């Protein structure tokens, strides 16, 4: 059983509409029970649902975040984009940056670095995603890939208080496969050791589900989980949280 303050972050990706709001009732009820001993639930729905989720969570302690943002702190002529200040303005407290699904779409370390700086300046907490592909893993490049992503993604960022690093091996996302616990422990330790001053909070993401959480929760250095598919099912999401504490 863990006694640690844990973060459970639901990444809904490009799923969900207004009809998904009812599915949150169970989670709201659960969040008000005493079963979450120490910890926080955070939902990152698509932009279109942020305001509805914010309203829905008005009387409970569930927080909201976005799945990405534009790199500019200033407002400007950028059709179709949303800057971090706009997110803060509508009640979001978190933003996911550097998700591998966006890196695949062309986000570079440099752009990610700009986004992180701008989001931190907007007083958002940043969930910065890093992770290696299967080919990189097979070629024993995991450490060098993570190192590069951290070095350039966090270039000239000195205050880690509002920073989370989500280690999400790309090959584990949506596949049902996760690294071995020993492997994960080593990688998480490796990430932590790269920080000389304040260590950011560290999350794991990639196929987290109610079955594998029993093993994942034994990793002492973790501060929580970034959950994709399973987070859209309230029963599974609640189960993951419950099992982390039991």
Catalytically active residues are: 99, 168
- Quote the least distance from Cβ 229 to ligand 13P, whole Å: 3
226 binds ligand 13P (CB under 6 A): yes
User: Where do the DSSP E strands lie in 23-134?
Assistant: 39-44, 63-66, 94-97, 125-130
- Quote the least distance from Cβ 110 to ligand 13P, whole Å: 22
17 binds ligand 13P (CB under 6 A): no
- Quote the least distance from Cβ 134 to ligand 13P, whole Å: 14
134 binds ligand 13P (CB under 6 A): no
Which CB atom, from 62 or from 208, has the smaller least distance to ligand 13P?
A: 208
Which CB atom, from 89 or from 175, has the smaller least distance to ligand 13P?
A: 175
Chain residue at closest Cβ approach to ligand 13P: 228
Question: Interface residues with ligand 13P (CB under 6 A)?
Answer: 11, 99, 168, 173-174, 205-208, 226-230
């Amino acid at each position: 059983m863990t006694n640690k303050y844990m973060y459970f972050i639901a990444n809904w990706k490009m799923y969900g509409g207004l009809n998904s709001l009812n599915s949150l009732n169970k989670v709201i009820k659960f969040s008000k029970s005493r079963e979450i001993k120490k910890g926080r639930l955070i939902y990152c729905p698509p932009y279109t649902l942020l305001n509805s989720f914010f309203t829905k969570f008005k009387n409970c302690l569930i927080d909201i975040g976005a799945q990405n943002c534009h790199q500019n702190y200033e407002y400007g002529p950028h059709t179709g984009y949303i800057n971090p200040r706009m997110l803060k303005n509508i009640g979001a407290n978190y933003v996911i940056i550097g998700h591998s699904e966006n890196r695949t779409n062309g986000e570079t370390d440099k752009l990610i670095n700009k986004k992180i700086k701008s989001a931190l300046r907007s007083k958002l907490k940043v969930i910065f995603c890093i992770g290696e592909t299967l080919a990189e893993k097979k070629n024993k490049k995991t450490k060098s890939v993570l190192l590069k992503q951290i070095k350039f993604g966090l270039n000239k960022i000195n205050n880690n208080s509002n920073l989370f690093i989500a280690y999400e091996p790309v090959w584990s996302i949506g596949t049902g496969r996760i690294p071995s616990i020993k492997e994960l422990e080593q990688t998480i330790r490796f990430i932590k050791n790269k920080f000389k001053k304040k260590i950011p909070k560290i999350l794991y993401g990639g196929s987290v589900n109610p079955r594998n959480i029993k093993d994942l929760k034994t990793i002492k250095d973790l501060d929580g989980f970034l959950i994709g598919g399973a987070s859209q099912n309230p029963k599974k999401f609640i189960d993951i949280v419950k099992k982390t504490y039991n």
